[in-house]
Structure 1
């Protein structure tokens, strides 16, 4: 198992013989071949490059822009549907390959000169190259990532029925997406150039690109990687018709519930979707990878730490607190993301808000009820507080010396310490992106953001100081959160802490709350998306300036399409998102925007003052901030006392605390299935069959994703979008047949479908 970032690792291991390089091009010199300190990178990423291979070509622009626009439109259009459809860049990655090769075979190679410039280009610069393919995929990724700020536009226009200037809305969407480029420019040398920041998720992409482009001789008695990819993709495509259409119950099989059909306690213990999930598992790749990402592309130490946090939360804290009725937990479901009142019913926000001013109505609140959460949901907030502070202290203790030395990286000796073969190839063959490009985007985006907040009649409710504070939070957390994501595939989100801060400082204003959250959270997230794609380009040896141009243009185009599609729908579809007025069977129910709206009400109207202080129910959860800050210290002290014990350095406290935070969207069955598959491949197979793992592991991950995606799109377009589902039978239910798992067990609480104790 590779350590993700330990400066004492040496990069001296030879390239694995099981990953023979067939790509032609200029090779690095012998003295440069010290490869990369991370074993997974050594087994996956080639150490060759051909600087003459075309990258940013006419084909790149045509196919990249088309993919970006199409994915942005489709994902936003279907995002308002009850049965949402998400199409990722992986679909475009597969589909553009034959189109690119067709263009290479048919387009003329005549040179065209751009008027009034010395630039020229050819419609056909030669064979469709791997670098073109990678840039097109990154272009498409801009269109598939989603635009968080569109949710603000939707709830302002549709749920709050407020006037919103379209120019202000458009600038809000663009600036929240572009601000992150400024942070990326400041931190890219730490999070991209460093070989210890290896971005594990990119290795599956690198493997797939190599499979699709490299020529390989079929081993005797085996299959090539391309043949393996095609076989697994076809099998995944064919299999998904069973859990996706004919037998949805395969996604969560909870045998305990089937045995004790009338026991609430047994179903709470056994339900994989609404309980502890003891004995529950799923036979669907979307169950394994749909919420937590592919376990095949996640390092073993990250899987282990995540599972530790999951077990501590779900199998220690939650059951003890629930059955001892902490916070009146027995009045509510064990596993729920909804909010409740003191009688165990769904919280009626309309009773505590002034309809005219959209501000908090204290008299109504005092007459009604405090706001309650399920015990699991309450603890996930506590874990999110702890994960945030733990991220800071962990990175400072374990990585502070590396970051500080990189900050002072000026001499050749220090460059040799931190550079690997990939960094040296990039710096030798290609010009870096000038720092002023990033700085210009940062200054312009921030100025426009101030204009959005202070202009247009202050429709968004956020004052100038709120914008500065939110950007400061994003800047402060980009590096520590980036270190964690670049080494573990997990990102501590800032959504909760940003809501928490502005809820205290500027309460009673729901739009201000979500705007502050978006500037603070999404600008950091965009920076990490940018740097993750930059690292993919680093591995694929794509010119950095071409990478920058593609990402910048792709972000602007995608944001425009997302906004335009949203504005068109919310101004033309009657009663969109209003389930009380929509005709029966209408697909325009906006489930994601409904959650976003409720969050704005909870944090912006009720606010943390009435949740996490003595005025609310959960003041003790504030201790999680201190717990998280101190949690990395014991592991750090042990690692210094026993430096020879390498397993100590794999105790990753932020990952442990982040472990349960995918819940309650992800359920117990998702964690258990994800963990089982991850341990099987990244521990057992990695150790026992390393040549097979090196050759096929990441390809297997990509192939399973491809088959699932294409069958999911096909089922949606042909059947589910027309409300055509599988044959009526027991297995058609997409639940785990544990209806009593949602029931409260406190005496006297009446909930439809549940017995009253």
Structure 2
């Protein structure tokens, strides 16, 4: 049977709709369209080649992989929605905290949540009686895609660990301080809601435009369409999904537990197991081991880490790849030329070292002696202990992180000015004067604002279908923002944060600006930038000598960017799936509050049970304290010693100066592209490239080669030479791989990895080298 797809002609008809009327795929009675009979829908045979690789047809990916059709009569708020949504939010808040303390940066995959929701939803639909009052209230109809999507949104909102658990973990690990449970939960909740308020008010820039694709969502929405289309059309895709899901579910037990050497097979390390140089360059199967050059990883958990190589656009992969190559060159260069006394410290590390450290005795800097009881730097103690040192590769991480921020600002203004000006225009003097003029004030701000935007031709075709539903007024998000500000200020003063109210307001301004720039960057490239260092730099200079205040400044100035991006990503997910905006808003608010509670509960348990491992440099391949170590290191360095370490004339001055260089870095590529457009320099994102120059500074790096091999095989070869296979299976296979992996990792975490307190080790042998690095490289700790 032919594969039915909405073609470009249908997209054009939707785009031409004016006014708040319902788009062409829904008639006046809101009856769903039948794509097999609607004459406005192009029927694309599965053997017909679709040129989605050609630059002129890049936008067609939104209509070729996702159908532009909707059924607004579907009921999404049922018993199943609330029961499974709350249950999976509890589950997501729990597992995201577990992943936070892993040696590799791993996210709770949306696909994983979607697969669980589908299995449980279909199960409830079959088990609960359909007749009588039970059926009326608990099982009124078959499980549908809108219920499924609402559950995913609620669970997603709880499934990213709030940065606040990093702050709480650092206070317990390094300051012997502990906020009470209620204050901790409200701290987490307020920091997340602050970002939600900002993100909601930026929807016209970060969600509606078709250029803001949010590629992370494509596998999920593609999977949902496959699951809920007629079985005659989806029998083969579902079979492929089931096979891939089952195979990866069974396979992951082997590299994760039975044979961890498969996490990173290094021919060079197997050839020479006594060389520290080989470990630094070719090792990478353990946390902070090495750069993983030419290592082969067979563990999808580390290849993907929740960020599948199958969905990154090829221009993003090119920029990432160039950055990683430069990273290997730069890291090797600074270490083996002994820049910043590099060889006195580990090759990769996130902790602070004493100036008395040597290659043989790598003493850590004693912050307890330097930071007084008032949480401020003691000048007398600092004179005795001396300034701390970083591992040289971590200096590069700080340097490039700061540089990519300024480069990102320039890049977005050059290449995405139409989207940027939507938000920035409110600061124009004419706009401000109009807002301040009492004649323009009215009492209709609460009304539904779901009317077409004057520039809606820039919006993706799925946005047009959302006009059938009531929009969320801006004042809802303003209320969320105001409430989070009030709660945050209460937490800051009740928790003795030492951050003043005006410092908090500066952090809010920083979050707003960076969300605009790097939310847009993530929406177009799929890359979530870590801009923590520059936020801590700003906090350090406005509150010098105060590391604890810096942690709180970073919590609200950086976590709000992350949470705002996540809200926009989920809004786009709901837009692609045509879920009513007010339902989406409700699901996000409830899910976030549940997530904050269980983030705190799991953080408390893991820090208590795994304290010694979290304080060690390498950790294990199961648990690692690299993220709280990094957070603490930067808060002490920037918050306590910004002037002494980073100002002009100091040891690490280039970490600050490089910000100015970053602003001009994108200019040559931009002007060369204007002069020589055939060179394809528009595919080079300098901010992404710079960001990846320090990408290998933490975690398990043996997966990086496998990541790029798979990514280019998908987005370049398969998309170019087999576009129909790409359309039908690429994102579906990505969903199956992430879903199967995430479920088995969750089971293993509690069953044998010690998330509940006790771990069970597989017997030691050559494939499970528990007493050293798993890839058999020389252990250099």
Determine if the TM-score, normalized by the shorter chain, exceeds 0.5: yes
Aligned equivalent of 2:90: 69
Q: Deviations over 1:680-715 (max 9, x none)?
A: 111111111111111111111111112222222333
Distance 1:669 1:740, change over 3 A: same
CA distance in 2: counterparts of 1:706 and 1:208, whole angstroms: 11
Aligned equivalent of 1:258: 270
Aligned equivalent of 2:767: 731
Aligned equivalent of 1:629: 663
Aligned equivalent of 1:189: 204
Task: Quote the offset at 1:306 in angstroms.
Answer: 0.8
CA RMSD in angstroms, aligned pairs only? 3.8
Select 2:748's aligned residue among 691, 710, 715.
Answer: 715
Aligned equivalent of 2:654: 620
CA distance in 1: counterparts of 2:621 and 2:712, whole angstroms: 40
Task: Quote the offset at 1:435 in angstroms.
Answer: 1.1
Select 1:435's aligned residue among 474, 492, 497.
Answer: 474
CA distance in 1: counterparts of 2:226 and 2:536, whole angstroms: 44
CA distance in 1: counterparts of 2:273 and 2:343, whole angstroms: 20
Distance 1:588 1:624, change over 3 A: closer
Q: Give 1:329-728 correspondences, 5 Å limit.
A: 329-342=342-355, 343-344=357-358, 345-350=362-367, 352-404=369-421, 414-427=454-467, 429-453=468-492, 455-456=493-494, 459-563=496-600, 577=611, 591=625, 594-595=628-629, 598-599=632-633, 602-603=636-637, 606-613=640-647, 616-642=650-676, 644-645=677-678, 647-721=680-754, 722-728=758-764
Select 1:49's aligned residue among 26, 50, 70.
Answer: 70
Structure 1 residue 318 corresponds to structure 2 residue 331: yes
Task: Quote the offset at 1:495 in angstroms.
Answer: 1.4
Q: Deviations over 1:21-45 (max 9, x none)?
A: 9xx9226987899999523323311
Task: Quote the offset at 1:110 in angstroms.
Answer: 6.3
Task: Quote the offset at 1:350 in angstroms.
Answer: 3.9
Task: Quote the offset at 1:335 in angstroms.
Answer: 2.8
CA distance in 2: counterparts of 1:295 and 1:233, whole angstroms: 17
Q: Structure 1 unaligned segments of length 5 or more: list them.
A: 1-9, 16-20, 113-120, 743-751, 753-757
The normalised TM-score by structure 2 is 0.82
Distance 1:630 1:580, change over 3 A: closer
Aligned equivalent of 1:172: 187
Q: Structure 2 unaligned segments of length 5 or more: list them.
A: 1-9, 16-24, 26-30, 44-51, 427-448
Aligned equivalent of 1:117: none
Distance 1:27 1:419, change over 3 A: farther
Q: Is the 8 A contact 2:190 2:487 kept in 1?
A: yes
The number of aligned residues is: 706
Q: Deviations over 1:623-662 (max 9, x none)?
A: 32122110111122123334x4372211111111122344
Distance 1:340 1:416, change over 3 A: closer
Q: Deviations over 1:698-741 (max 9, x none)?
A: 11111111222222233333333343222321110263545447
Task: Quote the offset at 1:615 in angstroms.
Answer: 6.5
Q: Is the 8 A contact 1:151 1:593 kept in 2?
A: yes
Task: Quote the offset at 1:56 in angstroms.
Answer: 2.3
Aligned equivalent of 1:327: 340
Distance 1:140 1:380, change over 3 A: same
Aligned equivalent of 1:304: 318
Q: Deviations over 1:489-527 (max 9, x none)?
A: 112233111211222221333321111101001112111
Aligned equivalent of 1:139: 154
Question: For structure 1, which segment, 675-684 or 411-420, has the greater mean C-alpha deviation from structure 2 after superposition?
Answer: 411-420
Question: For structure 1, which segment, 476-485 or 507-516, has the greater mean C-alpha deviation from structure 2 after superposition?
Answer: 507-516
Question: For structure 1, which segment, 151-160 or 127-136, has the greater mean C-alpha deviation from structure 2 after superposition?
Answer: 151-160
Q: Deviations over 1:409-428 (max 9, x none)?
A: 9997943521342111111x
Distance 1:412 1:438, change over 3 A: closer
CA distance in 1: counterparts of 2:113 and 2:425, whole angstroms: 41
User: Per the alignment, in what secondary structure is the counterpart of residue 339 of structure 1?
Assistant: coil
The normalised TM-score by structure 1 is 0.84
